[in-house]
Chains A and B, each alone.
Chain A
Amino acid sequence: MASLVGSRVERKEDKRFLTGKGRYTADINIANQTYAYFVRSPHARAKIKKIDTSKALKASGVVDILTGEHIANDKIGGLIAGWAIRSEDGSEMKCPPNPPLAKDNVNFVGDPIAVIFAESLEEARAASELVKIDYKVLKAITNLSETMNSETIHEGIDKNLCYDWLLGDRQKVKEAFEKADKIIKLDITNNRLVPNAMEPRACVIDYNTASEEITCYTTSQNPHLSRLIMSAFGGVAPEHKLRVVAPDVGGGFGSKINLYNEEIVCSWASKKIERPIKWVAERTESFLTDTHGRDHVTHAELAVTNEGKFLGFKNETIANLGAYARVFGTVTPTYLFGPCATGVYVMPAAYSNVKAVYTNTAPVDAYRGAGRPEATYTIERLVDKAAIELGIDPIEIRKKNFPTEFPFKQTLVHQVDSGDYFAGLEKAKQMSDYDGFASRKKDSEKRGKLRGIGVTTYFEACGIAPSPVVMMLGCGVGLWESAEVRFNPTGQVTVYTGSHSHGQSHQTTFAQIAADELGVPIENVDIVHGDTDKGTFGMGTYGSRSLTVGGIAIVNACKKIVEKGKRVAAKMLEASPEDVEFKDGEFVVAKSNKKKTIGEVAFACYLPGVRDEVKSPLPEGEEPGLKESAFFDPANFSFPAGSHIAEVEIDPETGDVKLDKYTAVDDFGTIVNPIIVEGQVHGGIAQGVGQALTENAEYDETGQLITASYMDYTMPRADNLPNFNLGFTCTKATTNPLGVKGCGEAGAIAAPPTVMNAVINALDGQEIQMPATAEKVWKACKNLKKSNSKAA
């Protein structure tokens, strides 16, 4: 039987999406439902003096209005930070309370204050105009660099500082810098982004008055985790009376990891008003209240020899947490950022120091790549600057500092199990026709255009897992994954996974894996996810962990099925279990032609006995049925790596940057389905190009988000991008039986420095901050003309 792992299998989920049969949360309607509309703060920072809902309560169609006072009276808990990070001085991080509805203070535009339930959405929205709130408006703190010297936003949190974290050895770095021929210095901002899954957040709540169970349909990347937080911290209902279902989810990119105010409020309220509730975010609500990403200001330094050897690295960063610390908010700019900031290089000494601060902006949390794009941008921009200042080719300077052996003990935390950075870079160089750049540049110049080329080599730590490690680093839960495999009596297989697909294609890739392990046709395998009443438990999907953690749990559960199958087959075939081999769906007694298919064995497990033609005695002590489960907790992260090369052409008259060529060579270990991996890389690159060239979430000094619609926040569209040229190398991961590494975030990690290095190359090394908009580039082009005319 040909292996499905590695094959370009078309997706099993496509038909329903392509025919309009997908079932997203907003598609769900429950008889007698009410519609929720949230009254939100129009101010970035204010004290709430008084809330008057009396008029609104009398408005047409209004069923009830609830406020922060009701939340407090019912002792409903708030939203939480999932990771406890300690400061360099050993002190605990400082987190403000984040109640589901603000009672006394609001801290960003969009902070919810009250919720109206009405018979129709129009009536709920109309009634919101009648809710009167008296505010004492305070000065908004929005400038990241000045935050620590500004007024205190949250009582008791001095300097607005959550923590001042250090990873690495300052003394060693100092010594390394003293030995350097040259110190390369760089000041960069990592622009704030809005993840912008195309499906706006939503929830539909159904409270069953008979069973007292709350069902929450929601747009989540991790329904079990949402249930856990809503139950353990929110106190909405005990876990066995709370069912969270994330049906089809239209993209997440990190923004749907968090449990949000609306899900807690509507779940709690549904029981209170004894009516189902539907809430669907408007796009501007999503812009205002979805967690945002990135938003760092960094000063970094690299100590080098004249030959281009790296001696040491410093990283001083201020990271914006926004108004509140959320689930991955505190770990994203620390352990997901700091360790990767030394890149793919042998770096004798390094440290990363991060000050995470609160501002009057939307909470900042994980967004595709989470910390690793910021890390890669820092080191890869710095290495390019070193290449310019030392007059060394950017590819050569990178090669001089690659590790030559694996496992590679990376400077700050990670033991990288496998990789070959030379192979990837060489392949990218060939595929991009790096050597032909000079002639393409000449051609561009003939047409009055500037052309630049940019290189990035990256590695990242993903497949976020090893529970003992993440818990030691401050994580509040273990990041394993679960799977359950049920072999039905008539031969089909249902696999329950704790991972969640919101575009990742698990229904296909996980079925490929299970079909291979069990030797059954892929058509006979169904993948079930996203419902806390079905799967055992799950930590969900983020950090490129679905395959490397969730997929391996499926492999392990399948292996248990085969083990039991061997024992049962042995009894049926009158052989000893050690003599039974399993291959291509058949249990075969060694050196004989006696065999049973896995379907026959499964059937026997459900019909344990001997009667007439049925001869399926189970071995003594063996339970009937064929169902196994597994929890997988890998020994380490997975470490994908790669080299990306981009070419841009700039029109100096307009500042317009055209991304002309993009080559990506990635090492994801074993590839289960090339079509899907290519799709993941395309999407990641597109988001990374967006960060580099167009996207920017911008708050004004009063804390208003001035990029809160698709008219103002410019994500790449079809006509902004070229086709990407993809290649792969393969060094297998040693920490899981399939040898797989995560692939979902690579593009978003590598693309920003790749594109920016190309833009800066075209601008003769002039520094420019992301996004490289036409205005900024046009100004830089004017500087270029000035300096050229001076030189002449």
Chain B
Amino acid sequence: MKKITVEVNGKKIQKEIEDNTILSTFLRDHLNLTGTHVGCDTSQCGACVVHVDGKSLKSCTAFAIDLDGSKITTIEGLVTNGKMHPMQEAFKKMHGLQCGFCTPGMVMSAINLLQNNKNPSEQEIRDWLEGNICRCTGYQNIVAAVKEAATKM
């Protein structure tokens, strides 16, 4: 057991947790932030992507205790003053989601792309999102959503 202090979606949080608690479990089970989804056990699907200190991270790959002192943003933390983030708006406008399960990871990953590359090409978007599996959309409208968001961010 270890006590950690993290900032999650702008709120300071102190919790005592087991050494082997992974970040996705910490977020979902300890903080009830169930927007972060777990779709596989092998860090392949990307449904669990969150931002840690501004970079996207598959939250099933990190132990929470290793992140003591970090700033974490989850899908729940993107709404400000009741307004969705431009990436969220773009996914809605372009129908970039169907069942919604991969969506939180996809959105978090896509935001991080635009933070690194303001105006990515179609191929750059597809390459970046290679680590996020979607079974519903065939990716076409996700790519379109990222392009749309690039004009707004």
Residues of A within 8 A of B (CB): 10-11, 13-24, 26-27, 29, 196-200, 248-251, 253, 282-284, 502-505, 675-676, 678-679, 682-687, 709-711, 715-719, 721, 723-724, 747
Residues of B within 8 A of A (CB): 28-29, 33-42, 44-45, 47, 74-76, 78-79, 84, 88, 91-93, 95, 97-104, 107, 122-123, 125-127, 129-143
Does B138 contact A685, Cβ atoms closer than 8 Å? yes
Neighbouring A residues of B139 by C-beta, 8 Å: 682, 686, 716-718, 721
A250–B100 alpha-carbon span in the complex (Å): 6
**11 A–B contacts, CB within 8 A, in A order:** A15-B92, A16-B100, A17-B97, A20-B74, A22-B100, A198-B39, A198-B45, A248-B100, A283-B45, A686-B138, A710-B44
A676–B129 alpha-carbon span in the complex (Å): 22
Does B140 contact A717, Cβ atoms closer than 8 Å? no
Does B141 contact A682, Cβ atoms closer than 8 Å? yes
Tell me, rounded to whole Å, the shortest Cβ–Cβ distance linking A692 to chain B.
Answer: 14
Does A724 contact B84, Cβ atoms closer than 8 Å? no
Does A18 contact B88, Cβ atoms closer than 8 Å? yes
A289–B63 alpha-carbon span in the complex (Å): 29
Choice from A14, A18, A23, A683 contacting B137 with Cβ under 8 Å: A683
A710–B131 alpha-carbon span in the complex (Å): 11
Neighbouring A residues of B138 by C-beta, 8 Å: 682-686, 716, 721, 724, 747
Minimum CB distance partner of B93 in chain A: A10
Minimum CB distance partner of B123 in chain A: A719
A710–B40 alpha-carbon span in the complex (Å): 8
A222–B12 alpha-carbon span in the complex (Å): 42
Indicate whether A504 sits within 8 Å of B98 (C-beta atoms), given known contacts A198-B133, A683-B136, A710-B42: yes
Neighbouring B residues of A23 by C-beta, 8 Å: 34
Choice from B78, B98, B104 contacting A679 with Cβ under 8 Å: B98
Does A282 contact B41, Cβ atoms closer than 8 Å? yes
Neighbouring A residues of B34 by C-beta, 8 Å: 20, 23-24, 26-27
Smallest CB-CB A-B distances: 6 pairs: A20-B35, A250-B101, A17-B100, A686-B138, A503-B99, A710-B44
The residue in A20, A199, A249 that gathers the most chain B C-beta atoms within 10 A of its C-beta is A20
Minimum CB distance partner of B128 in chain A: A718
A19–B85 alpha-carbon span in the complex (Å): 9
Does B33 contact A20, Cβ atoms closer than 8 Å? yes
Indicate whether A503 sits within 8 Å of B100 (C-beta atoms), given known contacts A14-B92, A19-B88, A717-B133: yes
Minimum CB distance partner of B125 in chain A: A718
A171–B140 alpha-carbon span in the complex (Å): 49
Neighbouring B residues of A253 by C-beta, 8 Å: 135
Does B135 contact A197, Cβ atoms closer than 8 Å? yes
A560–B76 alpha-carbon span in the complex (Å): 42
Does A10 contact B100, Cβ atoms closer than 8 Å? no
A284–B35 alpha-carbon span in the complex (Å): 22
A711–B131 alpha-carbon span in the complex (Å): 12
Known: A24-B37, A683-B135, A719-B129. 20 other contacts (CB 8 A): A10-B95, A17-B97, A18-B75, A18-B88, A18-B107, A198-B37, A199-B37, A200-B38, A284-B41, A503-B100, A504-B98, A679-B141, A682-B137, A710-B44, A711-B42, A718-B127, A718-B130, A718-B132, A718-B142, A719-B127
Query: Chain A: interface secondary structure?
Result: loop
Neighbouring A residues of B98 by C-beta, 8 Å: 251, 503-505, 679, 683
A249–B37 alpha-carbon span in the complex (Å): 12
Minimum CB distance partner of A27 in chain B: B34
Does B75 contact A20, Cβ atoms closer than 8 Å? yes
Does A14 contact B97, Cβ atoms closer than 8 Å? yes
The residue in B36, B107, B132, B138 that gathers the most chain A C-beta atoms within 10 A of its C-beta is B138
Does B126 contact A718, Cβ atoms closer than 8 Å? yes
Does A11 contact B74, Cβ atoms closer than 8 Å? no
A249–B98 alpha-carbon span in the complex (Å): 10
Neighbouring A residues of B129 by C-beta, 8 Å: 717-719
A19–B82 alpha-carbon span in the complex (Å): 10
Minimum CB distance partner of B105 in chain A: A198
Neighbouring A residues of B74 by C-beta, 8 Å: 20
A283–B42 alpha-carbon span in the complex (Å): 9
A10–B91 alpha-carbon span in the complex (Å): 10
Tell me, rounded to whole Å, the shortest Cβ–Cβ distance linking A642 to chain B.
Answer: 16
A716–B130 alpha-carbon span in the complex (Å): 9
Does A502 contact B99, Cβ atoms closer than 8 Å? yes
Neighbouring B residues of A718 by C-beta, 8 Å: 125-127, 129-130, 132, 134, 139, 142-143
Does B92 contact A251, Cβ atoms closer than 8 Å? no
A10–B93 alpha-carbon span in the complex (Å): 6
Does A724 contact B133, Cβ atoms closer than 8 Å? no
Tell me, rounded to whole Å, the shortest Cβ–Cβ distance linking A324 to chain B.
Answer: 25
Choice from A22, A251, A685, A719 contacting B35 with Cβ under 8 Å: A22
A757–B39 alpha-carbon span in the complex (Å): 33
A253–B99 alpha-carbon span in the complex (Å): 11
A492–B33 alpha-carbon span in the complex (Å): 32
Neighbouring B residues of A29 by C-beta, 8 Å: 29
A250–B75 alpha-carbon span in the complex (Å): 17
Does B35 contact A19, Cβ atoms closer than 8 Å? yes
Neighbouring A residues of B140 by C-beta, 8 Å: 682, 721, 723-724
Choice from A20, A24, A710 contacting B45 with Cβ under 8 Å: A710
Does B97 contact A198, Cβ atoms closer than 8 Å? no
A724–B141 alpha-carbon span in the complex (Å): 10
Tell me, rounded to whole Å, the shortest Cβ–Cβ distance linking B132 to chain A.
Answer: 7
Minimum CB distance partner of B39 in chain A: A198
A23–B75 alpha-carbon span in the complex (Å): 14
Tell me, rounded to whole Å, the shortest Cβ–Cβ distance linking B6 to chain A.
Answer: 18
Minimum CB distance partner of B74 in chain A: A20
Tell me, rounded to whole Å, the shortest Cβ–Cβ distance linking B35 to chain A.
Answer: 2
Neighbouring A residues of B95 by C-beta, 8 Å: 10-11, 675-676, 678-679
Tell me, rounded to whole Å, the shortest Cβ–Cβ distance linking A530 to chain B.
Answer: 13
A709–B135 alpha-carbon span in the complex (Å): 15
Neighbouring A residues of B137 by C-beta, 8 Å: 679, 682-683, 686
Minimum CB distance partner of A23 in chain B: B34
A721–B45 alpha-carbon span in the complex (Å): 17
Minimum CB distance partner of A253 in chain B: B135
